[in-house]
Chains A and B, each alone.
Chain A
């Protein structure tokens, strides 16, 4: 199977530290991938390499068989959209203006696109609000809407694209986390490849077709949620005590345990 997005022995090293170490990945069109791993495992660095923003210090990353370094920023932006972890805006742009930045097209033509994106993130009542006055979660959703507009207006020209999300749910409540996951799944059903860094293993299990576990800059596991979320692997990679169970639908879920809670349970 030929991957749309391919990393071959891709590494990223700073003097004295290897952040991502010879990662091989092949991600097919329409796949829904979650990247999980402990802090400092190199998740963001890997995602930034997959986005083309960071060049691997050795190895290659390619999209449709062409190295990312050979794309112009503009051509690449029409094929992939990326939501960064934090985007701070220090000017009073309205939500609508932020969303409009996603599309390099006539705003009148893009109006249906904006409406759909604002509806998907639940900000259609906020379109004239000043983004600097919104809460962190609302700002994150506004930027997600901008990314959706970029993705969709690119896909209208060049076919299914690539959606990269760096901890998209970090400041969202559970309702909006699920909304975002559903929006991403809808994109994937239309052929978009989605890759998201997630901290919540349960959300990753619900959300993704495939989970990649990163540890110390290397891929520790890669596969379907049920195959990856195994007790020994997760306990070792994250260095925690936990229980992995399956729900009625056969989906795995994870219950973390506190060390002292376990100890007192043992005494009782």
Chain B
């Protein structure tokens, strides 16, 4: 079904597909994408060997299966899971941010929230080593995630303060302020790059381009827990987020404690974007492309949009990461470059369609 046909449906007014069906389809697509991603890589594992490699047909007996199992369980599986989880976080954070700013053009990477997170992460790389000393090195990964969250939180709050006035958000002001905030965060990153030593520099570059090559089981587990908590909270907020789309005054008139909702939403967006940045660096446009596509099919209601965005975001980033790690094998393309190459033209297309929202 073409996107044009979906747009046409706006006018004819056909009812939307049922929520359960939409989520079931997305879930199945996600499982299929994961299975496919497991088979692709430097060491190919054809679908026929997948059940044995996953250990579904008993203990390994031959050397091929043993090798397959090693590749799958210690390298590919954590990476695939991390890619899926980061994709979920980014897409759901994007959908949430669009609800908060009542604006379909919001994306954590586009308006500097991810840059803020990356600045926090990079600052922790450059400075924490000296503060922590060698025996506390183990803490660094957690502190880095926290620093990324803090960086995202500061930028989100700043952005909100600038772009929202008496309950209305100016979209042009929002995008321009995001641009300026991203520039400030990037200038900060530049300073950090300047003072960093060679090894730190390599780590920072990784954040600026975005990559999932550092994925491992602990990272997959901790990001999964953030995602789970966020989705549970979001499900409770969904109805109120719908009302917020009408405007802050309207939401208040409908019984929403707007200030509280905004605080919770800002913290959640920052936590989700910050954790995604801590694990994968700056990966843009997933947060804008995924919710936009979904709204065309399932509508903008947050009750369905948020979990569906999490599903489709996982699929998208999984596919992007699979391409990123195979297209220039044995080297790897930074995934941030790939999502930007696909996402930016898409963003321009949305911008053209939504012209009247932004300006004359």
Contacts and interface: CB of A to CB of B under 8 A. Distances in A.
Interface of A: 48, 51-53, 72-78, 80-82, 84, 87-94, 97, 101-102, 104, 126-130, 132-133, 143, 150
11 contacts: A73-B252, A73-B255, A75-B255, A84-B250, A92-B10, A92-B300, A101-B242, A101-B243, A127-B13, A128-B13, A132-B10
B257 A126 contact: no
Given A74-B257, A87-B246, 15 more contacts: A48-B249, A53-B252, A73-B256, A74-B255, A75-B255, A82-B253, A84-B253, A88-B247, A90-B104, A93-B301, A97-B301, A101-B239, A102-B254, A128-B13, A129-B11
B103 interface: yes
Interface residues of B, number: 33
Contacts of A130: 10-11, 13
A88 to B, nearest CB: 7
Contacts of A81: 253
Contact of A53 (B13, B98, B249): B249
A91 B15 contact: no
A48 B295 CA distance: 33
A90 B254 contact: no
Nearest to A127: B13
Q: What is the interface of chain B mostly: helix, strand, loop, or mixed?
A: loop
B245 interface: yes
Given A74-B257, A76-B255, A94 B249 contact: no
A72 B245 CA distance: 21
A94 B242 CA distance: 12
Most buried by B among A77, A127, A143: A77
Contacts of B348: none
B102 interface: yes
A94 B299 CA distance: 8
Contact of B15 (A52, A78, A128): A128
Interface in B94-129: 98, 102-104
B16 interface: yes
B357 interface: yes
A127 to B, nearest CB: 8
A128 B245 contact: no
Contact of A93 (B252, B257, B300): B300
Contacts of A127: 13
Contacts of A73: 252, 255-258
B103 A101 contact: no
Given A90-B357, A91-B245, A128 B254 contact: no
Contact of B295 (A52, A75, A80, A92): A92
A49 to B, nearest CB: 13
Contacts of A80: 253
B255 A92 contact: no
Nearest to B16: A94
Contacts of A93: 242, 245, 299-301
A92 B243 contact: no
A72 B104 CA distance: 30
A48 B258 CA distance: 16
Contacts of B250: 84, 87
Interface in B36-85: none
